[in-house]
Amino acid sequence: MKTSTSVKKRKKGRLSRYEAYLWLAPCLVLVTIFVFVPVIETFVLSVSEVSRAGLVKGFGGLRNFQFVLGQPVFGRVILNTVVWTIVNVGVSMVLSIITALVLNEKFHGRKLARTVLLLPWATSQMITASAWKYIFDYQYGALNALLLKLGLIKTNINFLGSANSAFICMIVVGITVTIPFMTFTLLSGLQSISTDFYEAATIDGANFWDKLFRITLPLLKPAINVTIVLNTIYVFNNFTIVFTITNGAPANQTSTMMVYLYYLAFKKGDYGASAAISVIGFVILLAFALLYMKYQMKEETAS
Amino acid sequence: MRKTGKQKFYLGRIFLYLFVVLGVLYILYPYFVMFVSSLKGMDEIFRIPGTIFPEKWVWTNYIDIWRDIPLAVYFKNSAIIAVGSTALCIACAIPAGYALARMQFPGKRFIMSAIVVTQMFSAVVLLVGIYKLMVTLHLQNTRTGLILLIAAFNQAFAAWLLSGTFATISKELEEAAMIDGCSRMKALIRVILPLAAPGIVTAVVFVFIHAWNEYTLTLVLIGDPMLKSLNVGIHAFFGYTNTEWWYVFAASLLATLPILCFFQILEKQLVGGLTAGGVKG
Amino acid sequence: MGAQYSDATEAYIQSVIDDFEAEHTNVKINLEIVGWDNIGTRIRSMVGAKQAPDLYNGGSAGEFVGDDLLYKAEDVISPELKADFFQVFWNNNIDPDLDEVYQIPYVASVRALYYNKAIFEEVGIEEAPKTWKEVEEVSAKIKEHYNGDVYAWGVDATLTEGQTLLAYYGWNNGGGFVDDAGNYIVNCEENVEALEWIYDMYQKGYTNENPSIETRDDMQKLVAADKMAMLVTANFFPALYPELEVGIAEIPYNDARVSSSSSMAVQDALIFFNENAKATKDTPEKMQAIQDFLDFFYSAEYYTDFMVQEGLLPATLTGAERLAKENPEQAVYIDALEGSKFYARSKQDWQDCSTGVCEAGQKVFTGMQTPKEALDELQMTLEN
């Protein structure tokens, strides 16, 4: 009698130990087949000899990586990607914190303002980027027409004319589409902060800035961290904006890694090199995520 | 001279309204441009220097687009793909999120990191591999294939957000329900899901937007013109010899409308829902 | 699967297929039309997955022949069809390394110098320039007259058309892409000099400001808006802007090096994937059906109407005859076709050369490299 209950208990224990897998099964099956299989394929391609038509012709060792790293333009592409990601996420973060604080206040037209802010998120990036491409056009662009009408400029500005100015324009577009999701995540974080903190602080005589730096930002930190990690991944992986507006021109000087790997694969037909860049990009992102999490954990245990 | 509290309040309000007005104008500007340009004729779009408002309002552009491309079919396809992938994605993510929030099991850390890692791959990077896979499964050129892919690529975010949401809900509630004789599944459906509604709404919105706006995968996987989505279909106006901006913008604005309405309905829950996953996840 | 030339392409080809299927009830043809931006992406994905179409227009044989994925043209098409193609077109399609033909002409276009008549009249220029020297003189006049508000000359170094640099200017200076034996000569003295000349035009302010990002489409719009005087472009240009008064002339040449202008033709090709690229077996019946369909498609009536609709030119003798009869104003282009030079598209690494020239042009016009440096670098890459 006694043994049988303990066996039963153990059996039940083991079942519930593995029961989780049953719950996870649909998710894991989906992700394994549709994400990890192509991922493995990409890793295999990166160390394969791949023909012009895209067929694998055998093991190629690290030749694809050597080829990519040997391209004179690759340094610029990496630099672009880093600048693109850091400036985009950094500026968006600051603006999103301000926007979230503003939208957390009660004021006339708040509902409308929130709806408007959702627009860039609700519009497909292909459409947004096309619209901005048209706006920035040197000859018939809408922005030049507007500035001329307002008398702010005498001759048209060539926004997309040089690699640097085009890149700045694209970062502006990137920030515009990054802000909504960031702001709404932060806004959610703000709303979870109990008003008790502020009431106590007001009694203590704290002013607006004290409250901001002593209460709001520290309590918002978890939301900020999540937002930074997620958006860094999204912005780094963003392809549509640069692809639509400049497609890397001139001479890949405005390419990010995503656009460059697409160029290598589908303009030049070099799948091996393209896959090698995918792998390099993945390693960079993984390193960032690990370092960031480690740093955050250290800080948390320290405080 | 020190400002009084009241003065300070008004000063703050002025800055606030200024910020809001400028921000709103900035965000609306591209939509304004799209709208006025969608009503111009070809000669006016390419006039140098450009006009701001159309000289002749060509409302027929909005009729022409339905004739030039099968826009209604594209709408239907986009809707099927977006609704299908959102439903599938959430249906898989709910039990997964629940298991991650509530259960201890061997390999949990590994599975969690694996899910996070899937976030790091975008479809562009994996296009070739994805196409081969779709052919192996006989899913190329089908909406089903796209639905499965979009659901899979959004799985990580959804599962992670939902597990954050479930973690904020007290365990006692479902334990009480289970003592009352509910199975775990029943407890989840009856007790947890209603409480987790804001988080679920957020996940739904997030996945739905991604699905509605998906471009690259559809471009590569769908060849049949009657299966194209709105985004890919609109691309037909970027012709070999000319870009028909007026049609591009007219169709783009129409394509944005449904998702905006959808947002409008769910906006309130959206803000609440991001908290759970965002802060506690 | 074919490329989209205009938004009417798909409907037209489908109608040809419908007519063909009505005659051959046991044959079913699936059509797919893809935009130029994406067709390369799609075909490579399809080939990688062994799902290639039987007939494909959108790339060149060189991309696929190295992997033994293609039929020889003569194994697919009928001898009558082969005989109907212009000899220059057929010869241009011979793979110089394999000495075989793997692609047939699909559509053709010729390039010429187009000039805005209103601008020429306003400035008082009577005749289109024939030589580089005359181009410079005319450009200087235009620049002076409009105080720099109107560009005299359009240059394109973008990824879509940048390879034309060595065609428009290289050929007309005695250079080009390959020598008679089919070896690359991109860094030859003539090419360097040609690029230096056009770069000099750019620096003097005679051309558009951003050759590395302004595409042919952008510049065609500039010509149409009376903002650019001269542009070398394709024969479908005038039809796009019916209200524009344009003059047509030969592409100018450097009379210090060559004695006449080289006209330039571009052909898009049709290729035939073999069983290595497909999951299905090609039965003799199927191959016969393909041959029948091609005869049908290239028959003077259907083929020429298609070309007229797209503003392109037929590559067949019967087609040209019909076109000349029905659209006499197009006859001048047909004559130009015969003596034209072509890209070396049948070379297997043509894609590398073509994008390489675009990149070299972009580097030159953004001031990163001199013409010599850029072309030397490209030659080295191509030789490796």
The model's pLDDT over C56-107, given as tens digits with 9 standing for 90+, comes to 998 888 888 888 899 999 999 999 999 999 888 888 888 878 888 999 999 8
For residue A2, what pLDDT band results from cuts at 50, 70 and 90? very low
d(CA A186, CA A100): 6
Tell me if ipTM is over 0.90: no
Give the residues across from A108 on adjacent strands.
none
Query: For A99-116, how does the pLDDT look when each residue is reduced to its tens digit (9 = 90+)?
Result: 999 998 888 888 888 888
B215 falls within a domain? yes
d(CA A183, CA A98): 9
For residue C278, what pLDDT band results from cuts at 50, 70 and 90? confident
Q: What is the mean pLDDT of residues B47-58?
A: 83
Nearest-by-Cβ selection for A239 from B124, B149, B276: B124
For residue B42, what pLDDT band results from cuts at 50, 70 and 90? confident
pLDDT of amino acid B279: 40
- Is the pLDDT at A57 greater than 90, yes or no? no
The CA–CA distances, whole Å, from C180 to C80, C176, C265 equal 29, 10, 18
pLDDT of amino acid A3: 44
B238 falls within a domain? yes
Contact B187, B98 (CB under 8 A): no
Contact A272, A60 (CB under 8 A): yes
Helix (H, G, I), strand (E, B) or coil at C287: helix
d(CA B60, CA B247): 10
Give the residues across from C230 on adjacent strands.
C115, C153
Distance, CA of C67 to chain centre: 25
Residue A173 at interface with chain C, using a CB cutoff of 8 Å: no
For residue B280, what pLDDT band results from cuts at 50, 70 and 90? very low
Give the residues across from C268 on adjacent strands.
C107
Residue type for position C155: V
Radius of gyration of chain B (CA): 24
Round to the nearest angstrom and report the end-to-end CA distance of chain B. 47
d(CA B168, CA C149): 66
Residue B132 at interface with chain C, using a CB cutoff of 8 Å: yes
Question: Are B207 and B89 in the same domain?
Answer: yes
Q: What is the mean pLDDT of residues B225-237?
A: 85
The CA–CA distances, whole Å, from C297 to A97, B47, B173, C10, C105 equal 62, 40, 72, 14, 12
For residue B269, what pLDDT band results from cuts at 50, 70 and 90? low
B196 Cβ neighbours under 8 A, 6+ residues apart: B162, B165, B166, B169, B276
The CA–CA distances, whole Å, from A104 to A110, B62, B272, B276, C3 equal 9, 38, 12, 17, 52
d(CA C164, CA C170): 9
Buried b (16+ CB within 10 A) or exposed e, A34-47: bbbbbbebbbebbb
Contact C102, C61 (CB under 8 A): yes
A-contacting residues of B 159-198, CB under 8 Å? 159
B-contacting residues of C 229-248, CB under 8 Å? 236, 240
d(CA A37, CA C111): 47
Task: Report chain B residues whose CB lies below 8 A from the CB of C38.
Answer: 219-220
DSSP character at residue C263: P
- Boundaries of every domain in chain C: 2-109+266-333, 110-265+348-383
d(CA A195, CA C118): 72
- Structural domain including B175 reads 74-245+267-280
pLDDT of amino acid C208: 93
Query: For A119-167, how does the pLDDT look when each residue is reduced to its tens digit (9 = 90+)?
Result: 898 888 989 999 999 999 888 888 999 998 888 888 888 898 888 999 9
Measure in Å the smallest separation between the Cα of C208 and chain A Cα atoms: 11
Q: Please state the domain count of chain B.
A: 2
Determine, for residues C225 and B224 on separate chains, whether the beta-carbon distance falls below 8 Å.
no
pLDDT of amino acid B2: 55
For residue A13, what pLDDT band results from cuts at 50, 70 and 90? low
Buried b (16+ CB within 10 A) or exposed e, C318-353: bbbebbbeeeeebeebbebbeebbbbbbbbbbbbbb
pLDDT of amino acid B249: 92
Query: For B171-219, how does the pLDDT look when each residue is reduced to its tens digit (9 = 90+)?
Result: 887 788 788 777 878 888 888 888 888 788 888 988 998 898 888 888 8
d(CA C56, CA C39): 10
Radius of gyration of chain C (CA): 21
Residue B223 at interface with chain C, using a CB cutoff of 8 Å: yes
Residue B46 at interface with chain C, using a CB cutoff of 8 Å: yes
Nearest-by-Cβ selection for A54 from C47, C218, C222: C47
CA dihedral A230, A232, A236, A237 (to 10 degrees): 0
Q: What is the mean pLDDT of residues B80-101?
A: 94
What is the average pLDDT score of chain A? 86
Q: What is the mean pLDDT of residues C18-40?
A: 85
pLDDT of amino acid B53: 87
Q: How big is chain C, counted in residues?
A: 384
Q: What is the mean pLDDT of residues B33-40?
A: 92
pLDDT of amino acid A151: 87
For residue B271, what pLDDT band results from cuts at 50, 70 and 90? low
d(CA A81, CA B139): 34
C-contacting residues of A 255-284, CB under 8 Å? 265-269, 271
For residue C122, what pLDDT band results from cuts at 50, 70 and 90? very high
For residue B241, what pLDDT band results from cuts at 50, 70 and 90? low
Q: B189: domain CATH number?
A: 1.10.3720.10
Contact B281, A226 (CB under 8 A): yes
For residue C378, what pLDDT band results from cuts at 50, 70 and 90? very high
pLDDT of amino acid A9: 45
Query: For C191-247, how does the pLDDT look when each residue is reduced to its tens digit (9 = 90+)?
Result: 999 999 999 999 999 999 889 888 888 899 899 889 999 999 988 888 888 888 999
Question: Are B83 and B220 in the same domain?
Answer: yes
DSSP character at residue C278: B
- CATH number 3.40.640.10 is the correct assignment for the domain at C110-265+348-383: no
* Same topology between domain C2-109+266-333 and domain C110-265+348-383: yes
- CATH number 1.10.3720.10 is the correct assignment for the domain at A74-254: yes
Nearest-by-Cβ selection for C351 from A161, A250, A269: A269
d(CA A228, CA B75): 34
Handedness of CA C194, C199, C205, C208 (dihedral sign): positive
Question: Are B24 and B95 in the same domain?
Answer: no
CB < 8 Å & 24+ apart, contacts of C275-283? C276/C67, C276/C68, C276/C69, C277/A53, C277/C47, C277/C50, C277/C52, C277/C64, C277/C69, C277/C70, C278/C50, C278/C51, C278/C52, C278/C54, C279/C50, C279/C51, C282/C54
Q: Which two three-digit tokens encode residue C28?
A: 């079913």
pLDDT of amino acid B272: 59
Handedness of CA A92, A97, A100, A105 (dihedral sign): negative
Measure in Å the smallest separation between the Cα of B64 and chain A Cα atoms: 19
Radius of gyration of chain A (CA): 25
- Is the pLDDT at C121 greater than 80, yes or no? yes
Helix (H, G, I), strand (E, B) or coil at C58: coil
Measure in Å the smallest separation between the Cα of C179 and chain A Cα atoms: 23
The CA–CA distances, whole Å, from B226 to B249, B268, C236 equal 21, 36, 30
Task: Report chain C residues whose CB lies below 8 A from the CB of B128.
Answer: 44-45, 48
Query: For B133-158, how does the pLDDT look when each residue is reduced to its tens digit (9 = 90+)?
Result: 888 888 878 999 999 999 999 998 89
Measure in Å the smallest separation between the Cα of A275 and chain B Cα atoms: 7
Of B108, B272, B254, B140, nearest in space to B200 by CA: B272
Residue B138 at interface with chain C, using a CB cutoff of 8 Å: no
Residue type for position C10: E
- Is the pLDDT at B70 greater than 90, yes or no? no
Query: For C172-192, how does the pLDDT look when each residue is reduced to its tens digit (9 = 90+)?
Result: 999 999 988 888 999 999 999
Query: For C316-354, how does the pLDDT look when each residue is reduced to its tens digit (9 = 90+)?
Result: 999 988 888 888 777 778 877 777 888 888 788 888 898
- Is the pLDDT at A303 greater than 60, yes or no? no
Q: Which two three-digit tokens encode residue C232?
A: 């070398």
Give the residues across from C33 on adjacent strands.
C2
Determine, for residues C224 and B220 on separate chains, whether the beta-carbon distance falls below 8 Å.
no
Of C232, C226, C91, nearest in space to C169 by CA: C232
Question: Are B161 and B111 in the same domain?
Answer: yes
pLDDT of amino acid A263: 87
Nearest-by-Cβ selection for C48 from B46, B132, B237: B132
Question: Are B146 and B9 in the same domain?
Answer: no
What is the average pLDDT score of chain B? 84
d(CA C312, CA C324): 13
A70 Cβ neighbours under 8 A, 6+ residues apart: none
Q: Which two three-digit tokens encode residue C43?
A: 């075909």
Question: Are B134 and B235 in the same domain?
Answer: yes
DSSP character at residue C8: T
The CA–CA distances, whole Å, from C98 to C61, C65, C68, C182, C347 equal 12, 10, 12, 12, 10
For residue B131, what pLDDT band results from cuts at 50, 70 and 90? confident
Q: What is the mean pLDDT of residues C47-59?
A: 86
Task: Report chain B residues whose CB lies below 8 A from the CB of A275.
Answer: 128
pLDDT of amino acid A172: 96
Which CATH number is associated with domain C2-109+266-333?
3.40.190.10
C344 Cβ neighbours under 8 A, 6+ residues apart: C96, C177, C178, C182, C350, C353
Of A74, A246, A260, A69, nearest in space to A164 by CA: A246
Q: Where do you find CATH 1.10.3720.10 in chain A?
A: 74-254
Measure in Å the smallest separation between the Cα of B35 and chain C Cα atoms: 22
**CA triple B113-B86-C39, angle to 5 deg:** 90
pLDDT of amino acid B125: 79
Residue type for position C132: W
Cα atoms in the Cβ-side hemisphere of radius 13 Å centred on A182: 30
pTM for this entry: 0.85
Determine, for residues B45 and A102 on separate chains, whether the beta-carbon distance falls below 8 Å.
no
Determine, for residues A249 and C67 on separate chains, whether the beta-carbon distance falls below 8 Å.
no
Task: Find where tokens 């038509």 sit.
Answer: A53
Give the residues across from C151 on adjacent strands.
C228
Query: How would you class C27 by CB atoms within 10 Å of its CB: exposed for 0-12, middle for 13-18, buried for 19 or more?
Result: middle
Helix (H, G, I), strand (E, B) or coil at C249: strand
Q: Are strands C2-3 and C33-34 parallel, antiparallel or unpaired?
A: parallel
pLDDT of amino acid A167: 94
Task: Report chain C residues whose CB lies below 8 A from the CB of A163.
Answer: 366
pLDDT of amino acid C153: 96
Is the bond preceding residue A38 a cis peptide, omega within 30 degrees? no
